[in-house]
């Protein structure tokens, strides 16, 4: 049963009535706790047309399930993932204003002019304007971050991009980005999952939570032990859920944390989005935090 909706306006999402799904709001932007990632759609490092049909089917399943946040990058299938995402959105006939699209500029394209070239190419492949959120995909050794943000800030001023963020940045790099960005850094997209808590240990998660920066957890379920961990299975049984869903729920029950799982399977896609409705108790969260301790 749909009991509400999220509608995108120029400044971000505005919420109407009661939302059927958990959301996070920072800097007047509201995003669903669970979105949809696009790595491996249309290929890996290079385009693979043999995957197009299954990739489009997965995107349509996500759209039909109610997904509004899609995450992609210029490097995914060398831009082909962006093309497929844009095509699926056009075919769905869902209004662009109802969706939030994130894409990323690669670290080798952070020189001033290269940032503009990359953004223009992404806009062309997506066939949409503007990009809602534009991220620096990875930090690189010797990168000129001030020069990159000089270009990124201009993209925002020119209306090509609405919001800026980073990905895989450590605490020092994140703080530097905040100083250089003319608009608030919306997110730091990092690998965060059970049992990998490296970004907890390096201070990034806590800093984001205390400074209104979303943590976008990618590859949120990556360990084979997820299926067999006894604690995870017990919590899953208590909620009539799968261990996979509880691993996602562990993420989205944390403040300022959203995630972008990906699947080609329509049933798994729906299960992923349904995980946003699972409310874990403090005791369950604590048990899961300790689940892989020896």
Q: What are phi and psi of 153, to 5 degrees?
A: -60, -40
Give the neighbor-by-neighbor strand order of the sheet with 131-136. 36-37, 69-71, 100-105, 131-136, 161-167, 185-191, 214-218, 257-259
What are the catalytic residues? 76
| Cα torsion angle, 87, 89, 95, 99, sign | negative
Angle between helices 230-238 and 243-252 (to 10 degrees): 90
The two tokens of residue 97 are 């204003």
| Cis check: omega of the bond before 79, within 30 degrees of 0 | no
Task: Give the pairing type, strands 69-71 and 23-26.
Answer: unpaired
């Amino acid at each position: 049963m749909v009991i509400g909706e999220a509608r995108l306006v120029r400044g971000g999402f505005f919420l109407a009535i009661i939302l059927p799904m958990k959301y996070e709001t920072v800097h007047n932007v509201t995003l669903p706790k669970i979105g949809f990632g696009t790595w491996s759609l249309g290929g890996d490092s290079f385009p693979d047309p043999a995957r197009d049909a299954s990739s489009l089917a997965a995107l349509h399943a996500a759209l039909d399930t109610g997904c509004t946040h899609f995450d992609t990058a210029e490097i995914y299938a060398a831009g082909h993932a962006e093309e497929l995402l844009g095509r699926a959105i056009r075919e769905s006939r869902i209004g662009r204003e109802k969706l939030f699209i994130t894409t990323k500029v690669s670290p080798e394209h952070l020189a001033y002019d290269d940032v503009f070239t990359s953004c223009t190419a992404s806009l062309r492949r997506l066939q949409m304007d503007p990009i809602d959120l534009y991220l620096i995909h990875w930090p690189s050794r010797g990168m000129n971050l001030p020069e990159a943000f000089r270009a990124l800030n201009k993209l925002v001023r020119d209306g090509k991009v609405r919001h800026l963020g980073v990905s895989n940045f450590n605490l020092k790099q994140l703080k530097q980005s905040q100083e250089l960005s003319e608009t608030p850094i919306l997110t730091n997209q990092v690998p965060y999952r059970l049992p990998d808590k490296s970004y907890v240990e390096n201070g990034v998660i806590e800093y984001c939570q205390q400074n209104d920066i979303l943590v976008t957890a990618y590859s949120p379920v990556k360990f084979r032990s997820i299926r067999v961990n006894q604690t995870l299975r017990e919590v899953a049984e208590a909620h009539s859920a799968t261990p996979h869903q509880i691993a996602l729920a562990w993420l989205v029950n944390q403040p300022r944390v959203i995630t972008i799982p990906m699947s080609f399977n329509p049933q798994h896609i729906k299960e992923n989005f349904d995980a946003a409705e699972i409310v874990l108790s403090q005791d369950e969260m604590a048990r899961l935090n300790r689940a892989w301790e020896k």
